[in-house]
Amino acid sequence: MKIGIIGAGNIGATLSRKLAASGHEVKLANSKGPDSIRDLARTVGATAVTKEEAVQGVEAIVLSIPFAKYPDLAKLFNEVPTDVVVIDTSNYYPFRDGAIAEVDEGKPESAWVSEQIGRPVVKAWNAVLAVTLAERGRPNGAPGRIAIPVAGDDPNAKATAIKLVEATGFDALDSGRVGDSWRQQPGTPAYCTELTMNELKSALRSADRSRAPGNRDALLNEAMAAGGKRTHDEGVARNRAVTA
């Protein structure tokens, strides 16, 4: 499959590497232009391109940029065919993104993203930490394989996203429509807690919409207070404990 990825941070770069390694043709873009990521793209097996080139001639587009930057992509999809799958990996953090009233009032993050870019999106890979994505994928059928929720309104688009998630080393769980995707946003039991398929199903069911923003902010404050001294596993454990 031909895939364009916009965003070359930890998540975007790791997805580029894993998808290229599984046989997909990957184009990678960022906000600064291809010259700034040419070495990175070569290392992960992708081709460095502009944002405009990343959405041309592809079957799927993965968006892995800071949440508040989505309005900047408003015109990017004007000429992109409607059958191209668009996958949103982002999360809303007010301390970084600034307050966005609609999301604060309960609009699911990916619903807001869809409105900004004028295209339906599938929400995937948002509920996984960078270390988890990079290091903890396992072959299909491996015991304890971590599951990732995938939400979307179009069955075909969601099926494509599910196949790509599985190609990166994780079980993919159909978590419902975009309107249900608040259940995998920051502060919920499904978010960055490294759960197996059955555990993830239970976590999605138990999500409390009213508690999620408070959980999100409390966990962020804890992480910042730790000053980078907390291990990855300690972070996962705290996510589980606070959102349970």
**Is the pLDDT assigned to residue 219 strictly greater than 90?**
yes
76 secondary structure, DSSP code: T
Residue-level length of the chain: 244
Cα atoms in the Cβ-side hemisphere of radius 13 Å centred on 65: 20
> From the CB of residue 6, how many other CB atoms can be counted at a distance below 10 Å?
23
> 17-54 pLDDT, tens per residue?
999 999 999 999 999 999 999 999 999 999 999 999 99
Q: For residue 163, is it within any domain? A: yes
Give the Cα separation of 200 and 67 in Å (integer): 24
Number of domains in the chain: 1
pLDDT band at 147 (very low <50, low <70, confident <90, very high): very high
**Is the pLDDT assigned to residue 228 strictly greater than 90?**
no
Mean pLDDT in residue range 81-100: 97
Domain holding 152: CATH number?
3.40.50.720
> What residue numbers bound the domain in which 221 lies?
66-243
> 56-77 pLDDT, tens per residue?
999 999 999 999 999 999 899 9
Q: For residue 12, is it within any domain? A: no
What pTM was computed for the model?
0.96
CA 122 to chain centre: 9
**Is the pLDDT assigned to residue 242 strictly greater than 90?**
yes
Give the Cα separation of 204 and 113 in Å (integer): 21
